Amino acid sequence: MEETLLDEATLLAEFEAKIDAEIKIEPRDWMPDAYRKHLIRQISQHAHSEVIGMQPEGNWITRAPSLRSKKILLAKIQDEGGHGLYLYSAAETLGVSRDQYIQWLHEGKAKYASVFNYPTLNWADIGAIGWLVDGAAITNQVSLQRTSYGPYSRAMVRICKEESFHQRQGYEIMWKMMEGTKDQQRMAQDAINRWWWPALMMFGPHDSDSAHTGNAMKWKIKRETNDRLREKFINKTVPQAELTGLKVPDPNLKINGTDSFGEPTYEHSDINWDEFWQVVNGNGPCNQQRLEHHIKAHEDGAWVRECATAFLNNSNSLNG
């Protein structure tokens, strides 16, 4: 017993030394249970978010207003699904199968980004999601490229490259609409009115209320706090909105200083945390719809997966 404890203590010391030295932790390396559990939760939540995120954008594919916009939207959704694949693969290196992760999602034991529980109501929402939601995601993901777990970090490097495209494409949609007709401008303003606050909520609760921040920062899974990332996003995005003529839906938004690069920083209203927790806990406008959609597609596809498995087994037995 004493020997095991001693071993664990040594292993933990080695693990922490690697973290301190910025050496990535790899799947076969020893890691504390709590570190593994944190990663299982965080990476699978991230993977589910990419996949569930296909739904609100998919809602407008058949109504995309031009061939170009339809191609861009299809390719974007395809990218998101691809991110889901990288992330499920990274999550599987922790010893849990994709099937198990999907089962946990369906059972409500795993979450996905709450922002996708809001509906997409007009074409500008596609712009707003790219610009604001992907924009918020990148702010977080750029820092996650330096996360301590190797497979997650490498997945994030690939994902960030594509997400920055998406953000620019989303901003282009908003820009075009603000340069367009009165109807288009109205749609664009309506979209930012609805998506601004959910985008800010994407960074999670205040640091003081965040259950997972402590260990995650210590083990360098997370590299910056929720509030710091949220401020970065606001500072970057408000000038972009102003450039297009869009009004950020916050009456208390005002410049309160400058950052180290001389760029303005902002004072803003607090988030409606009641709404945040309502949506996190399943009471958003589309929580039920999103999950049911995923479950239905999974159940409808069961016979196809069984067919593919049976065919593979039959082929292997013929060849074997």
Partner 1 sequence: MDQGKKHYYLEIADNAHILSHRLAENCSRGPFLEEDLACTNVALDLIGLAESVYNEVAKQSTENVSGDYVAYRRDEIDYRNCLLVEQPNRDFAHLMTRQFFMDTYHYYLFTELSVSSDTFLSALANKSLKEVTYHLKRSSEWMIRFGNGTEKSKEKAQDAIERLWRYTDELFESDASYADSIGTGVYADQDKLKKLWTQKVDEVFFLAHLRKPENREFQLNGGKTGRHSEHMGYILSEMQFLPNKYPDARW
Cα separation, 165 vs 148, whole angstroms:
25
Which of 8, 10, 65, 254 is close enough to bind partner 1 by CB under 8 A? 65
Which of 204, 172, 152 shows the shortest CA–CA distance to 76? 172
Position 317: which residue type? S
Question: Smallest gap, in angstroms, from Cβ of residue 108 to partner 1?
Answer: 19
Binding segment for partner 1 (CB under 8 A), chosen from 38-46, 71-79, 210-218, 275-283, is: 71-79
Cα separation, 320 vs 303, whole angstroms:
25
C-alpha 275: how far from chain center: 19
By CB under 8 A, tell whether 54 contacts partner 1. Answer: yes
Position 151: which residue type? P
Question: Smallest gap, in angstroms, from Cβ of residue 174 to partner 1?
Answer: 11
Q: Which is nearer to partner 1, 66 or 208 (CB)?
A: 66
Residues in contact with partner 1, shown as a per-residue x/- string from 178 to 217 under the rule CB under 8 A? --xx-xx---------------------------------
Cα separation, 283 vs 106, whole angstroms:
16
Residues in contact with partner 1, shown as a per-residue x/- string from 159 to 178 under the rule CB under 8 A? --------------x--xx-
User: Kind and range of the H or E element at 110?
Assistant: none
3-state per-residue secondary structure call for 189-221: HHHHHHHHHHHHHCCCCCHHHCCCHHHHHHCCC
Q: Tokens standing for 98?
A: 């994709």
Cα separation, 129 vs 291, whole angstroms:
19
Residue carrying the six token digits 């299982």: 40
Q: Which is nearer to partner 1, 222 or 290 (CB)?
A: 290
Binding segment for partner 1 (CB under 8 A), chosen from 18-26, 49-57, 240-248, 274-282, is: 49-57
Question: Smallest gap, in angstroms, from Cβ of residue 183 to partner 1?
Answer: 6
Task: Count CB neighbours of 274 within 10 A.
Answer: 8
Query: Of 112-131, which residues contact partner 1 (CB under 8 A)?
Result: 123
**Which residues are registered as beta bridge partners of 258?**
264
Residues in contact with partner 1, shown as a per-residue x/- string from 267 to 306 under the rule CB under 8 A? --------------------------xx--x--xxxxxxx
Residues in contact with partner 1, shown as a per-residue x/- string from 73 to 112 under the rule CB under 8 A? -xx-xx--xx-xx--x------------------------
Angle 281-116-165 from CA coordinates, rounded to 5°: 145
Can you state the angle between helices 182-201 and 226-244, rounded to 10 degrees? Answer: 170
Q: Which is nearer to partner 1, 261 or 303 (CB)?
A: 303
Which of 4, 66, 208, 319 is close enough to bind partner 1 by CB under 8 A? 66
Question: Smallest gap, in angstroms, from Cβ of residue 198 to partner 1?
Answer: 20
Footprint of partner 1 on this chain (CB under 8 A)? 51, 54-55, 58, 61-71, 74-75, 77-78, 81-82, 84-85, 88, 123, 173, 176-177, 180-181, 183-184, 293-294, 297, 300-308, 310-311, 314
